Amino acid sequence: AFRGSNEQFFNSRNGNFLGTLELLAEYDDFLKVHIAQDGNKKKGHVSYLSNTICDEFIEILGEHVRKSIVHELKNAKYFSIIVDSTPDIENVDQLTIVIRYVSANSCPVERFLLFLPNVGHKGEQMGIAVLKTLEDLNIDFQNCRGQSYDNAANMSGCYNGLQAWLAKENKLAFYFPCAAHSLNLVGNCGADCCLEATRFFLFVQNIYVFFSGSPARWEIMRKHLLTSDSNLVPKRLSETRWSARADAIKALSLGYSCFRNALEELKIDCSQKQTTRIEAQCFINSLNNLEIAIICEIWNDILQKFNATNKSLQNINIDLETVVKLYNSLKDYLLNLRTMEYFLDFEKRGREKSGCEEYDSKRNRKRKRHFDKGAEAETVFDARDAMKIKVYFPILDNLINALEKR
């Protein structure tokens, strides 16, 4: 978009760079004359308007911005460093270096410094690259007072992680894990704590795949959503962003009956493929299941609270004290949910959504009794107790324990 597919002036596809110069030339006579005389010259003629000059302009501007940031940083003196690694569009691993300091007007600011391509994935390799970069920019690492990365072992490892290598150079560079990333890991603990929770998230993902796999099915679903107060379409789950999962569960919770009605229409539509009609029936059976509806309500409440906390954690002006308060508040919220009163409320809401009054009764599997064991009867839970003890409490307990560790 910046260069465009054509590099001729006054061509509609010449990109943003030449287009901007055309606009500026309307108000600058010198530039207007220069473009008229040298704008569309062929190679070998110096015009300072080619794509290489464009790239050079960007590099010069970037270097000027970087020098301004370093100047601000030196006035502030003390800083913390944030490092992350991710592959770019060409699958080249780029190490991102960001610094955080207090500006002259006493406001905390974050500033991006640069990308470092292909420095390696080991803590030692990244540590050497970071120190070399700071040295080249004439930034004294001994003034660093904090490090913040994600929870990957090569970053947060206390022996060979990046934070450990940098701490050897400066003992006052204390490590603080990324609060938002830590919260995502807490959510993973709850989602993987039991089979029913894992099965539920798989069901949510499959609902999205089913409707999004066909424009016709998607349109039918949208038509039914228009008849309700909810306009939230199914969302794809994300492995790393729990805010995306919160949106997906919220869409399912608010549009529960609309999705079911859309599936009912697809089930009886003879123009649909047999596989589509069978899949629709399977989804209907799941939506009519009391356990699915209860878990949907449980996770919707939990994830909306998680999402609100996650957004607060990403506030640019947040401090460490506020982070601790937010984590403690979230833990207290989960502890309050761990009562029979709240479970019965989720059960009631699940019955209203599913239209089902009874739990899915399954034959209890009896374990083989060995001759050297006592004759005491094995404890058998009814369906409600099983839901509470094997699903509800484990989800909450795993989330609470993970929060305490973080």
> Whole-angstrom Cα distance, residue 201 to residue 237?
8
Q: Which residues make beta-bridge pairs with 84? A: 96
Residue 35 belongs to a domain: no
- Asked if 68 contacts 82 with a C-beta cutoff of 8 angstroms, the reply is no
Instruction: Taking residues 353-364, report their average pLDDT.
Output: 75
Instruction: Taking residues 137-159, report their average pLDDT.
Output: 86
> Whole-angstrom Cα distance, residue 2 to residue 83?
28
* 337 and 307 within one domain: yes
Instruction: Taking residues 146-157, report their average pLDDT.
Output: 82
Where among 177, 203, 231 does a domain terminate? 177
Higher pLDDT, 327 or 365: 327
Residue 369 belongs to a domain: no
User: For the segment 6-24, what is each residue's pLDDT rounded down to a tens digit?
Assistant: 777 888 778 788 888 888 8
pLDDT for 348 beyond 90: yes
pLDDT for 128 beyond 80: yes
User: For the segment 188-239, what is each residue's pLDDT rounded down to a tens digit?
Assistant: 777 777 788 889 989 999 999 999 998 999 999 999 988 877 778 888 877 6
Side chain identity at residue 247, one-letter code: D
- Asked if 85 contacts 94 with a C-beta cutoff of 8 angstroms, the reply is yes
CATH number for the domain that contains residue 96: 3.30.420.40
* 208 and 90 within one domain: no
Q: Which residue segment(s) compose the domain that 317 sits in? A: 184-362+380-405
Q: Which two tokens stand for residue 268?
A: 């009886």
* 113 and 140 within one domain: yes
* 261 and 345 within one domain: yes
* 295 and 156 within one domain: no
> Whole-angstrom Cα distance, residue 120 to residue 94?
10
Higher pLDDT, 98 or 375: 98
Q: How many domains does the chain contain in total?
A: 2
Nearest in space to 294 (alpha carbons), one of 158, 393, 387, 155: 387
Residue 97 belongs to a domain: yes
Instruction: Taking residues 337-345, report their average pLDDT.
Output: 93
User: For the segment 372-404, what is each residue's pLDDT rounded down to a tens digit?
Assistant: 555 555 555 678 888 898 889 989 998 898 888
* 217 and 157 within one domain: no
pLDDT-derived band of residue 371, with 50, 70 and 90 as boundaries?
Answer: low
Residue 350 belongs to a domain: yes
Instruction: Taking residues 140-149, report their average pLDDT.
Output: 91
Residue 166 belongs to a domain: yes
Where among 130, 156, 177 does a domain terminate? 177
Residue 42 belongs to a domain: no
Higher pLDDT, 104 or 363: 104
Residue 110 belongs to a domain: yes
Nearest in space to 402 (alpha carbons), one of 249, 205, 177, 198: 177
Share of the chain above pLDDT 90, in %: 34
User: For the segment 273-317, what is each residue's pLDDT rounded down to a tens digit?
Assistant: 999 999 999 999 999 999 999 999 999 999 999 889 988 888 877
